Amino acid sequence: MLNLESNIKFIKGVGEKRAELFYKLGVFDVDTLIHFYPRKYEDWTNTKTVNEIENGENAVIKATMITPVTEHMVRRGLTLFKCKFTDGETVINVTIFNNKYLAKSLRTYEDYILFGKIEKNLTSASMSSPKIEKAADGIKIHPIYPATDRLNSKAIAKVVKTALDNLGEIPETISTEIREKYALIPLDRAIRTIHFPNSQQEYMKARERLIFEELLILQLGLLKLKSSKKEKTDVVINDDYSQEFISLLPFSLTNAQKRAIKECIDDMAKGFPMRRLLQGDVGSGKTAVAGALIYTVIKNGYQTALMAPTEILATQHFESLSKLLEKAGVKAELLTGSVKATEKKEIKKRLINGEIDLLIGTHAIIQNDVEFKNLGLVITDEQHRFGVKQRASLAGKGEEVHTLVMSATPIPRTLGLIIYGDLEISVLDELPPGRQEIRTDVVNSSYHGRIYKFIKDAINRAEQAYIVCPLVEESENLDLKSAEEYATELSENEFAGYNLGLLHGKMKPKEKDMVMKAFAQGDVQILVATTVIEVGIDVPNATIMVIENAQQFGLSQLHQLRGRIGRGNKKSYCILVSDTKSQTAQNRLLTMKKYSDGFKIADEDLKARGPGDFFGERQHGLPKLKIADMLEDMEVLRKTQECAKEILSEDYNLDLPKNKQLCVEITKMFKDIDY
């Protein structure tokens, strides 16, 4: 008998060599094997005769073999095996390619199920390399697994069947009362059914149970993770100085900004470290909120730190915040990679002596030799550009400090609560008054002449433009112009005599900063760039954003890019250029024309692409889900959130016998997640 911990190599038919192939699929033991779910199924229940099938259709036919197999060697490495079957009405000529094992196993006058494409003529029919199984074998719905060249789906299914046949009852994870409340079938039945269902109805019940379980374990893990962060802190912010800071501002705050400041300051007064995500659309005023918190924490006697992903963004934060805060006697410093060694040494010395109140910088501020005297608050800007570890490194510079992470990538609130499970969320859902609405148009490449004239007219009015390309250099796979080639072409032709700059991800940080600085100062009139400008600086004079091959970008990315313009008081224009013939892609681009609200766009983007693509690299520290989908299963997500809270309110440490197995599953799910 096998158990869940049994290594995959001990399952009959696997062995050392085949085990290596399973390891590459992330399957190491019986437990990971039975949770390696099929990606789809082939339904062999509905058999038809040839006469009932359209020519060229994929179909399932029950047929009897009527001639022995003949072997034909076409050339070295290609052998054809031919034989005939009949469904009782029509003769079917079957050709099998290079599969001697299958050919030898077939017996005349036995009944088989053939699955594949049928080609019909007047008197007979033919099938090339159909899947063939004995009619008596009984598996009617065939699981199709994520496979590799050397380990096909049929071989995986055989190993799964062997494992399940030799495995005792799979330990139940969810208590009887919860199963009854949510109408869930037992785990053992769900696992066996998800691999080999007998009907669509059976499959749906199994899937429902496994999705519920996976999301419940995720919710329990995140809730426990969140509450485990509730260690006490000595950094208690008793006095609120935010009004004092607001009086320094040359503009009024929105109600959303005031609400976010209050939520954060209330958190910091509780005696536990604040861990909050400040989520707001491009231009919603996150920096002003950060400034109010920085000012309040400093006035309470602590130091603060703000980390940005690029040198130019860090510099912009430094310039805007230090200008405001120096009036109130706050000492701010900038620490980035390009600061000279002697100056860095001096900054670090003054920092540990407590002579610096606010340190703003890039990754340079999480270096080992950067030490604070009494750090109270850390802020990371553009959270999605930093990994979980980097966020933790910055927080680790002090003792149980308060943490604010800021993101301009709008995430639907329900999903945000799951993804940033260790954070509370504040949302800036209104833009400051006076922000210009950006006109967005979707055009094809025949408009290029008009676009170039439009840009020249803007430059003559002392305005500037961005032109964004998806690639850095030519790709053989995609017929897209690279940024480098396009910039050269434009500077030699349409924009000869104009100042063009080029910016892309393969440039060194210093080169990027020089180009962005020149653009910010107005020395560069047109900036040809890749998406590195998605997180950029404010250039109030930039009023035009042209995005080439716009269908190559996600909606949220397009929205981020569009947010680079409309920073000043001049009317701004975003032009999406695409020759796509795909109706889906065109509809996505028209969403950009229809909506200016980042949250609505994020919803559309998520519907179209799912969380994996939406977040890009898995930097948010969320465990990988095997069967659940956080968008499709949003309703189940809500139920499991409620269920997880119920379980923890009764048995927080999951000590009761009925919850013991849940504890085991949480540990498994979160074992690779580094918070």
Q: What pLDDT is attached to residue 410?
A: 65
Q: What pLDDT is attached to residue 241?
A: 95
Q: What pLDDT is attached to residue 566?
A: 84
* Structure confidence at residue 613 as a pLDDT band (50, 70, 90): very low
Taking only the tens place, the pLDDT of each residue in 452-507 is 999 999 999 999 999 998 765 444 444 456 778 888 999 999 999 999 999 887 78
Percent share of the chain, pLDDT over 90:
53
CA distance 92 to 166: 39
How buried is residue 295: exposed, middle or buried, by Cβ count under 10 Å (0-12/13-18/19+)?
A: buried
* Structure confidence at residue 598 as a pLDDT band (50, 70, 90): confident
Question: What's the pTM value of the predicted model, to 2 decimals?
Answer: 0.62
Taking only the tens place, the pLDDT of each residue in 397-435 is 878 899 998 887 666 655 666 666 567 888 888 877 766
* Residue spans of beta strands (DSSP E) within 372-486: 375-380, 402-407, 424-428, 439-443, 464-468
- Is residue 207's pLDDT more than 90? yes
Q: What pLDDT is attached to residue 107?
A: 94
Query: If you average pLDDT over every residue of the chain, what do you get?
Result: 86
Q: What pLDDT is attached to residue 603?
A: 72
Q: What pLDDT is attached to residue 384?
A: 53
Average pLDDT over residues 272-284: 84
Residue 563 DSSP class:
T
Query: Which residue's structure tokens are 């995430």?
Result: 411
Q: What pLDDT is attached to residue 511?
A: 84
- Is residue 578's pLDDT more than 60? yes
CA distance 546 to 580: 16
Average pLDDT over residues 26-36: 94
CA distance 217 to 178: 13
Q: How far is CA 23 from the centre of its chain?
A: 24
Residue 482 DSSP class:
B
- Is residue 213's pLDDT more than 90? yes
Residue 301 DSSP class:
T
The amino acid occupying position 130 is: P
Taking only the tens place, the pLDDT of each residue in 257-273 is 999 999 999 999 999 89
Overall size of the chain counted in residues: 675
Average pLDDT over residues 436-452: 92
- Is residue 109's pLDDT more than 90? yes
- Is residue 446's pLDDT more than 90? yes
CA distance 119 to 50: 9
CA distance 296 to 507: 39
Q: Which of 139-153, 218-232, 569-583 has the lowest mean pLDDT?
A: 218-232
Q: What pLDDT is attached to residue 144?
A: 92
CA distance 92 to 50: 8
Average pLDDT over residues 205-221: 94
Higher pLDDT, 483 or 14: 14
